Amino acid sequence: MPRETFQQELDDLVTVVLDLGSEVESSLENMVSAMENRDAPLAHNELGVDVRYKARGAEIESECMILQARQAPVARDLRLLYTVHSVTNHLVRSGTLSEHICKAIVESASCERDEDLEATLMEMARTVRNIFEEGLEIFKNRDIERARDLQAKDDKVDLLYSEAMNLIANPSEGGGGGEPEWRMRAALIVHYLERIADHGVDVGGSTVFLVTGERIDDAMRQYLQRNVDQDGI
Amino acid sequence: MSELSEERREAGQEGVGSPTGTALGMKIQDLSAFYGSFKAVTDVSVDIRANKVTALIGPSGCGKSTFIRCLNRMHEVIPGARAEGRVLLGEQDIYTRGADPVVIRRQVGMVFQKPNPFSKSVYENVAWGARINGYKGDMDALVERSLKQAALWDEVKDRLKESGYELSGGQQQRLCIARTLAVEPEVILMDEPASALDPVSTQKIEDTMEDLKRNYTVVIVTHNMQQAARISDYTGFFYIQNMGDPGRLWEFDETEKMFSNPDRKETEDYVTGRFG
């Protein structure tokens, strides 16, 4: 195949992005585990990953720019570089947010907690981790059908977000609502989790653009319209 | 005669006029081109939009140059060569009985790969076409305007009496563009106009295109895909599916679409350099 060197460079770049994704996945796994087990030392180990992820992200960005300058990519090659750039940004941001959550876990380790709120947070954290992993798999396998399903899964995160915020704003009467500091940290964690879910969904959406050249919103509209047409509604 | 040409004739500028801003487009319907019994291009139907730059890309030998030579009846000057189908310039069928190829070639000018100035002065290179077409206006003004449109005036305004051969390759090509503009065509066909030029000269030609489309319709054949992506509004991809087949217009769309997300795999393989 012509342009073998360029193709190899693109393949290598994708491998580097997927490696970064695996590392962020590990961070999310540790974050969920630290929440489930109230494991402040494990959370503490995650502090500092942000710097490493940002440096990796900068390297990938630099490589994208060099390839654009040297190879003048168009069509699917251009979409791939654009997508790699976009996905890398989502991965790095997710890694940063995971570290923020771990920091909140460490700082609230000794706080009295609301069990209902903690249970909601953990369910949200597991769901978010799954969405992120699925987004990365979609990118790895170019599985755009699942990208469309991923949007629906994000709705569950939004529901849990509302539920958690309601518990934070309206602690149960007669104690048991946890310390104010815990509720404040919990609000931050809820917000960070919701953002990570969005990044995971966007990784899937970027893959739709990579494969079809369509923005996920347009693709979703067409997809839903197709269902309407098929159902004869 | 086209409405525009009619206006020019009434203004005493038949064949040569001042840029009016609006040019004519072309409509090609079921065009096939032959060299003797060999069919080189088949069934091309496409609208060339007015006041836009249309780039034609594709592998060597797929019929791009043959196709554009059909757009001003230059193809038929090769012995045994002929074209079938309809080519409309505005509303006028340039292949209709009675259509004068000389008039057509004035309305649809052509710039070739290799600069080919006349062995005359810079001034005469530009003025010659207008003069033999009976231009009665201010010739100095016409020469200056044409050279300015071709982005050459500043470089040659003090060298108008020198031979066109004295100019550099890039300047000679812009002189040929100015010569084409002087007879005020509707459409300018360019067959790889920058392929023999250095990057700086190429850039000047490309910059000229952006200005030219305000007054003219431009069709350019190029092997430089980045050039097509940079300068054109629409792109057509010519392709031969099997060895010995005639060339076809495989895909035609807005340039942005062709270079970001073309519909056909062969187009994507070609623009990404994955042919072979």
- List, for residues B38-79, the tens digit of each pLDDT value: 999 999 999 999 999 999 999 999 999 999 999 999 999 999
Question: Which pLDDT does position A83 carry in this prediction?
Answer: 96
Q: How many CA atoms lie within 13 A of A120 on its CB side?
A: 24
Q: By C-alpha distance, which of B12, B118, B30, B97 is closest to B70?
A: B30
Average model confidence (pLDDT) for chain B?
89
By the 10 Å C-beta count (0-12 exposed, 13-18 middle, 19+ buried), B27 is classed as middle
- Sign of the torsion angle spanned by Cα atoms A21, A26, A30, A36: positive
Report domain extents, chain B: 3-271
Question: Which pLDDT does position B263 carry in this prediction?
Answer: 94
Closest partner residue to B272 among A76, A212, A213, by Cβ? A76
Say what the ipTM of the complex is.
Answer: 0.71
CB A103, CB A109: distance < 8 Å: no
Question: Which pLDDT does position A148 carry in this prediction?
Answer: 78
Q: By C-alpha distance, which of B120, B92, B200, B111 is closest to B155?
A: B200
* Å between A85 CA and nearest CA of chain B: 16
CB neighbourhood size of A37 (10 A): 10
Closest partner residue to B274 among A2, A78, A212, by Cβ? A2
pLDDT at A2 over 90: no
Cβ-based contacts of A68 with chain B (< 8 Å): none
- Go through the domains of chain A in sequence order and give each one's CATH number: 4-231 (1.20.58.220)
Three-state secondary-structure class, residue B158: coil
**Closest alpha carbon within chain A to B257:** A75
Average model confidence (pLDDT) for chain A?
90
Mutate to test the interface with A, among B251, B269, B274, B275 (most CBs of A within 10 A): B274
Confidence of residue A174 (pLDDT cuts 50, 70, 90): low
What percent of chain A shows pLDDT beyond 90? 73
**What class is the B3-271 domain?**
alpha beta
Cβ-based contacts of A79 with chain B (< 8 Å): 260-261
* Å between B260 CA and nearest CA of chain A: 4
Q: By C-alpha distance, which of A52, A133, A149, A39 is closest to A96?
A: A52
Give me Rg for the CA atoms of chain A. Answer: 20
Q: Write the pLDDT tens digit of every residue in A36-56.
A: 999 999 999 999 999 999 999
Question: Which pLDDT does position A223 carry in this prediction?
Answer: 60
Torsions phi, psi for B72 (to 5 deg): -135, 25
Q: Write the pLDDT tens digit of every residue in A74-129.
A: 999 999 999 999 999 999 999 999 999 999 999 999 888 888 999 999 999 999 99
The Cα A146–Cα A157 span in angstroms is 17
pLDDT at B14 over 60: no
Q: Considering the entire predicted model, what is its pTM?
A: 0.80
Cβ-defined contact of A2 to B260 (cutoff 8 Å): no
pLDDT at B13 over 50: no
Residue type, A233: I
